[in-house]
Every structure is written in C-alpha cells, then in structure tokens.
Amino acid sequence: MFQELKEINLRPAPFQFYTADELWTNEHTSKQMLEYHLNESIDMSSRNKSFIERSLEWIVSRFGVDESTEIADFGCGPGLYTTRLAEQGANVTGIDFSKNSIRYAKQTADQKGLKINYVLTNYLDFDTIDKFDLITMIMCDFCALNPNQRKIMLSKFRSLLKPEGSLLLDVYSLNSFNQKEESTTYELNQLNGFWSPDDYYCFVNTFKYEKEKVILDKYTIIEETRKRVVYNWLQCYSKDSIRNEFEDNGFKVEELYADVAGKAFSPESTEIAIVAKKA
C-alpha cells in the first residue's frame, strides 16, 4: 500500500506522459466531455454561450470573414465555432479526434444545411493540400502540448496558411500559473462519475513546475479491476515567452489580447490570445 501511494503521489518530469486520448477517445469520458461542451452556462470544455457569441462577432470583424474565407479550426469539438463561422458563409474545416464531438458537429451541420468539412483525427496528424486564410485553436489547447508537439503544430500552421493568412489561438498567462496551488485530494467517483460509469476512487495531484511555468493535474483513477493515470498538462506564458516561441518558429506576432473576443490585455489577464502571421 505504501508503494502504491508513493507512486500515486510521484511527480513526473514536465510533459513526461501524454494521455490526451484517454479524455477524448475513451467512450465514457468523451461523452462526458461532450456534455460539458454543450452546457452553455459553464466554461469547462468550451466557453459559455455569451462569450462564444462575442468571440465570433469579434473574429468575423477582426479577420473580415465572408463567403471567400477559408478557415480551419483545430480542436473544433462539437462545432460551436465552426457552425457559426459557416453560417457567416465561410468555408470551414473542423479537426478533432473525439468521435462523439465530430458526430454531433456533423449532425448539427446537416440540420442547418451547412457544408462543413469535419476531419476525425488527432490534429498533430492532420494534413491536407488545402490552404487557409484563418487557422484557429481555441480554449488553450496549445498549452496541453509538449514543446516538441508545439513545434510540430506551429510548423503545420505555417504550411497550411495562405501567404497573408492569420493564426488565432489562446494560452494561459503567468497569472493562471501564479493563482494555482499545489494540492493532493482523493474522492469517490470524483467529478460525479466523469471517469467511469462504475464506482472508482480518483486521486488528484496538482503539481507546479516553477522553472518551466507548467501546471500538471494528475488523475489516478482506481476501479475495482483496473487503474489508470491521466495527465493534464498546462504550459503558461508571459507576453514575451509566447512572442518568442512564435517568432522562433517562423511567425510574426501582430497583436496580443486578453482573450479571443478581442479584450485588451492587462496585467490581470489570466489568458493571452495571439494573432500571428507567417514571418
């Protein structure tokens, strides 16, 4: 038992493990994530409805979205942004590796008579000959990727953008890092049965990595017949560090905002939204 608890509470190296598939492709948890996506009153898997409406209005205005605009949304989920962008007349591609989310997005598009190209794949593996005027990655997905994966994504974005195309994504700021505290908790059926339809105990370890400005929420899920560990990594940034990472990977940062609704950045902002073009 002592060794088991020691392993549960072990602090891994930053980004040592990658378990995103456990969240998004596991049949039970992906259904739970979809429910969170579709709950319009909370900011869990997606922003709340009010924010999304403001965000879409700003995106359409900021990037001049119209019938000629080609857009790719990486991590599109159930289509909360892609549907609205297609309703503006844009030609939209949505990429996600949650089967449940893509199924829901396609059903919504069919019901609304919208032609949206949905691709079921891990966006790290996505490839196409198409080029885009605007690429988006929203809800701080970029922060969950390790440094090498982020380089892969930025290289992919550069190759997929048209010469004057723009990239819009958001990340967590150092304020988010500073506000988080290390902790250890455990609970029966933590998150109201999120991890399994059967009874389980879930140990949650929150670790902070001061040098790297990384947060880890480590979930150890213990059921009667199995044990799983899910790692949720979050890279946090200063304005300088996100600008440097983009510039080191062939981008010119045009503007930094507090969110993807165009709010002006301030020292209190918990997120940073980046608009960039190919250098």
pLDDT tens track for 54-107: 999 999 999 999 999 999 999 999 999 999 999 999 999 999 998 999 999 999
Question: Would 41 be classed as within a structural domain?
Answer: yes
Q: Which domain holds residue 128?
A: 27-172+238-278
Query: Residue 184: inside a domain, yes or no?
Result: no
Q: Is residue 160 part of a domain?
A: yes
Could you give the number of structural domains in the chain? 1
Is 118 or 39 the better-scoring residue by pLDDT? 118
Encoding tokens for residue 138? 């929203």
The answer to whether position 177 is within a domain reads: no
At 111-131, the pLDDT tens digits run: 999 999 999 999 999 999 999
Question: Domain of 118: which CATH number?
Answer: 3.40.50.150
Residue 45 resides in a domain: yes
Q: Is the pTM of this model over 0.85?
A: yes
